Amino acid sequence: MSLVQQAHAELPSQQLLAVHPSWIAEQISRLPPALQSAGWSTLPESLRARTAALLPKQAVSRHPSPSLGGMMQTYLWRQLRSPAHVPSYALPESPMLRLLALSKTQLVRFIDFLALWELAPELQLLIDQAKWAQVREQLSLEQQAYLEIVLRWKGPPAKQQRLLGLLSDGARFKRAVHERGLARLASAFRAAEAPIVWHLAHRLDTGRGRYLGEAFHRQAGTPLSPRELEHFMALINRIEAAP
């Protein structure tokens, strides 16, 4: 990347475009009420459209404020970035960088699939067919197909997460399984890859992003085994190839 391209990528307007709108809406909501509309109106046009639904009506103005644009965008970006922020073009070399090329929808699907590795240890011991039916009801056909692959994997015994006890409440079960997927994703990163985790968390909504970041800080440091990395990359291939 040339110096000109780097300078362009460093502009707050460009940095904000790579962040999920829920993070930006949260920062605008923290501004004094009199400044919220100004904060929203100075965002790039595509970002205004994506944040409008996340803000109260009084914070959404149809009249941009060009004179405040640069200053307000800089303020919002400084509130969002971490003290040790690393620009996307300077991130450390890692196979995990492929995750940053996925859309938010693809990332959520990836996390849901990754969660099946957390669910599998319990299912391998499950003989109750009624419970098996309940599990299938909570999974898409695509997830069920991938689960068959996971169940065939012969690796070291994994810790059981006691997720099946939540089956009576479908929404709670899905949320718990999804959170285990986020935790598994977090555990795949080494400590030196913290800047990548920051970028990944901010491509997700605030709820998922914070959970990922907190899980990373609790458990980072154990690198994936070569075979686990192979499955991880294969899953990324599967998500990328899906329509």
pLDDT in tens, 169-213: 989 999 999 999 999 999 889 888 999 999 999 999 999 999 999
- What is the chain's length? 243
In 3D space, the residue among 149, 146, 161, 135 whose CA is nearest the CA of residue 113 turns out to be 146
126-143 residue pLDDT tens? 888 988 999 999 999 999
Token pair of 44 as six digits: 């790039």
Q: What is the pLDDT of residue 227?
A: 81
Q: Does the pLDDT of residue 4 top 50, yes or no? A: no
- What's the chain's average pLDDT? 86
Q: What is the pLDDT of residue 83?
A: 81
The amino acid occupying position 222 is T
Give the model's confidence band at 236: pLDDT under 50 very low, under 70 low, under 90 confident, else very high.
very high
In 3D space, the residue among 78, 24, 14 whose CA is nearest the CA of residue 54 turns out to be 24
9-48 residue pLDDT tens? 567 888 899 999 999 999 999 999 888 888 898 888 889 8
Q: Does the pLDDT of residue 157 top 90, yes or no? A: no
Q: What is the pLDDT of residue 171?
A: 92
Q: Does the pLDDT of residue 6 top 60, yes or no? A: no
What average pLDDT does the segment 109-121 reach? 92
Q: What is the pLDDT of residue 155?
A: 63
